[in-house]
Amino acid sequence: MFLLNTQLKVSTVLLLLLIIILPQSAKAFDINPAIKSAIIPGWGQISIDRNYGFAMMSGEVLLWSSYFYSVREQKLQDRQSYEYALKYAHVNPGDYSKDYMSNLGKYNSSGFEAGGYNDWVRKMALYYYTGNPEAIQQYIDEHSIKEDEAWAWDSSAHRVKYKSMRYNIHELKNTAQVISGLVIANHLLSTIDILRLRNRWKNVRPSIQYNRNTPTLNLNLDF
């Protein structure tokens, strides 16, 4: 709750700064409204007395605030999950890959006992290379967890809690990606809205090009 309140306060301050600074910037520099809206959604609308631009600008501030909040929480919870694994899975301190951190939540240990990660590796080796002892051993040597990266959870409950922590990190990452898409959409909508008023701004010529099936909005401007 504290972080959420802080986020809202920061968003409000940023919005107020934009409202104060941008109109002054518009007076100092004769910037095309389409460019303004492409840079900061709502700026172009405000400069031509379309007050709904404030809503677009507010949305931009809130989106970026939410994005940075999600990224910060990712880093915080990633660190917390790492420290949790150090304490309850007895992992050696180190810089581990995302796959390794994910596997910690799937297996009670890294060993060859039932339910261990290396036990799963051995089963895969037998499945892929049945009747070929050399290939089986080579597969195990290449894919098994070595002693310096070994782990063993104190209990299944600890492993489940850790897995939940990693899931939260994954959800925060997805949230950040969604917010990134919304930021792009907000810029596009604001720019398209200005182009809708192109009768007033005849020096703006929009065009859409496709690069590997990805649409790109281009603005041709005459100064």
- pLDDT tens per residue, range 69-115: 999 999 999 999 999 999 999 999 999 998 999 999 999 999 999 88
Confidence at 25, pLDDT banded by 50, 70, 90: low
* pLDDT tier for residue 19 given thresholds of 50, 70 and 90: low
Q: Which tokens hold the place of 87?
A: 């304490």
Whether residue 8 has pLDDT greater than 50 = no
Which has the closest alpha carbon to 38: 223, 222, 219, 220? Answer: 219
Residue 128 neighbours by CB distance under 10 Å: 11
Instruction: Give me the pLDDT at residue 16, please.
Output: 53
Local structure of 221: helix, strand or coil? strand
Tens-digit pLDDT profile for residues 147-168? 999 999 999 999 999 999 999 9
For residue 43, count other CB atoms closer than 10 A to its CB: 25
Distance CA(169)–CA(102), nearest Å, equals 11
Confidence band of 210 (pLDDT split at 50, 70, 90):
low
Integer Cα distance of 79 and 133 in angstroms: 41
| CB neighbour list of residue 70: distance below 8 Å, 6 or more residues apart | 172, 173, 175, 176, 179
- For the stretch 42-77, pLDDT in tens is 888 888 888 888 888 888 888 998 999 999 999 999
Average of per-residue pLDDT across 198-216: 55
Question: CA 42, CA 21: separation in Å to the nearest integer?
Answer: 14
Residue 24, sorted as left (phi over 0), alpha (psi -120 to 50) or beta, turns out to be alpha
Domain boundaries along the sequence of the chain = 2-110+145-221
